[in-house]
């Protein structure tokens, strides 16, 4: 039974690689149609069940998209699988979310600070005005509102959008999404930190508008300071020994 399962798994992997190879060799792009199930069976010498298993596996990775009643297409090739995997890792065990948040902060800060000069050089007046408007929305709604999160996500998306690097944009948003999903495990943002968060976003726009790459990088460092304080507090609470009740 185990050998049969192993053989079926190997066959599914072969079919999966065959579909990926078809996409690459034919230079298909997201949204382009794939051959029908029957055509894939014939081309890959595989059964319908193997093709369906392979398509399901590729769908989970967003490499393939099944539109019921229409056919199978090349997927968006997004990083949704990465977001789900990292989020689950953070939520899997007690304390893991704190470690994951700390890792994410390091990666996000290094990621954005490493591109600070390029970001500043690529932001024109219209985008800077749009960033200012997003800061205004954040100040108006406060961190407890979903509108704050929407404005914050749009802010960071707009920072990297003019770079014209699709992978950079996808990675930036993937890190933001995992951060947003795991972050609620930390203590709620206080009024002092909320004011600091809004202020540092304003400082980022001001530095970019002045063409100050060093100031922009410094503001990015301050951007993550409130989060680092919350992570440190969460670690202290986790490490604190339980107090036995007085009998």
Where are the alpha helices (H) located in the chain, listed in sequence order? 2-25, 37-44, 48-60, 80-92, 96-114, 116-122, 125-141, 146-160, 166-182, 191-209, 213-223, 225-239
Q: Evaluate whether residue 180 is within a structural domain.
A: yes
Asked, for residue 113, whether it belongs to a domain, the answer is: yes
Q: How far apart are CA 111 and CA 100, in angstroms?
A: 16
How many distinct structural domains can be found in the chain? 2
Enclosing domain of residue 30: 8-74
Per-residue tens of pLDDT for the chain, all 247 residues: 444 444 455 587 899 999 999 999 999 999 999 999 999 999 999 999 999 999 998 998 889 999 988 899 998 877 777 777 766 665 565 555 677 778 888 888 888 888 999 999 999 999 999 999 999 999 998 878 889 999 999 999 999 999 988 888 888 888 888 777 766 656 555 666 788 889 999 999 999 999 999 999 999 989 888 788 878 877 777 666 554 444 4
Q: Round to whole Å and give the CA distance between 219 and 216.
A: 5
In a domain? residue 246 = no
Please calculate the CA angle 34-40-46 and round it to the nearest 5 degrees. 150
| pTM of the complete model | 0.66
> What are the start-end ranges of the H helices in 115-165?
116-122, 125-141, 146-160
Q: Are residues 54 and 133 in the same domain?
A: no
CATH code, domain carrying 39 = 1.10.10.10
């Amino acid at each position: 039974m185990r050998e049969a399962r192993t053989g079926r798994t190997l066959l599914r992997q072969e079919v999966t690689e065959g579909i990926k190879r078809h996409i690459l060799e034919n230079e298909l792009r997201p949204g382009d149609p794939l051959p029908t199930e029957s055509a894939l069976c014939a081309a890959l010498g595989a059964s319908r069940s193997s093709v369906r298993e392979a398509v399901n596996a590729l769908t989970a990775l967003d490499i393939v998209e099944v539109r019921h009643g229409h056919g199978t297409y090349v997927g968006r090739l997004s990083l949704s699988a990465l977001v789900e995997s990292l989020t689950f890792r953070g939520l899997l065990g007690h304390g893991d979310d704190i470690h994951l948040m700390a890792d994410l902060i390091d990666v996000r800060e290094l990621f954005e600070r490493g591109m600070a000069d390029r970001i500043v050089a690529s932001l024109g007046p219209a985008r800077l005005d749009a960033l200012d408007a997003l800061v205004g929305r954040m100040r108006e709604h406060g961190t407890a509102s979903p509108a704050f999160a929407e404005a914050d996500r749009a802010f960071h998306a707009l920072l990297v959008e003019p770079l014209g690097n699709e992978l950079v944009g996808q990675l930036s948003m993937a890190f933001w999404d995992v951060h947003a999903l795991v972050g609620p495990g930390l203590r709620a943002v206080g009024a002092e930190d909320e004011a600091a968060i809004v202020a540092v976003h304003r400082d980022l726009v001001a530095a970019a508008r002045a063409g100050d790459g060093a100031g922009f990088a410094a503001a990015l460092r301050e951007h993550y300071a409130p989060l680092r304080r919350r992570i440190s507090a969460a670690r202290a609470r986790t490490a604190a020994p339980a107090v036995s009740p007085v009998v």
